[in-house]
Amino acid sequence: MPTTTSNASSASPPPEMETIRDETGTQRSIGYVIEVTGQGGSARCWLDVTEAHVNRHNVLHGGIAGLLLDSAMGATGSLTVDATGRAPFLTVQLSTQFVAAAHSGSRVTATGRVTGGGRSLLFIAGELRDDTDRLIASATGVFKRVPQDKLATGGDA
């Protein structure tokens, strides 16, 4: 069962942050967490990197880095129409540039930012940074909202 929690701060109240854990099989398997801040807000996706996430060079696997960017960028797109960040968006195109390595024991966080788009497509940029704020990877992508009629039938968008 997915767990969702809201975090409130004792400092000047930021927008309500909703945490999405264990929502999908991929999320449960990899162990990443999605955090969203209201409709039109921001989304981020973080992962505490362990030995289970590294490649033969002992650094974060590029596929997992791409997955984190894709998830944060898709949730950012979702926030343009749904304050919970759960409206499904499809990745039409994703281009990732790997800049530095992340290692086991670090936390990496991916963020998304809408850069353009219209009624059917959104252009979103993303960054993946480690816990020292070092850029690990960046990405650009095109995302499409899944039409409601396709959700009901499970058909292709």
CA-nearest of 87, 86, 89, 94 to 67 is: 94
pTM: 0.85
Name the strand (E) or helix (H) holding 70: helix 62-78
Beta bridge pairs of residue 144: 90, 121
Q: How many helices (H) and strands (E) does the chain have?
A: 3, 8
Tens of pLDDT along the chain (157 residues) come to 444 443 433 343 345 778 999 999 999 999 999 999 876 778 999 999 999 999 999 999 999 999 999 999 999 999 998 888 888 899 999 999 999 999 999 999 999 999 999 888 999 999 999 999 999 999 999 999 987 776 655 556 5
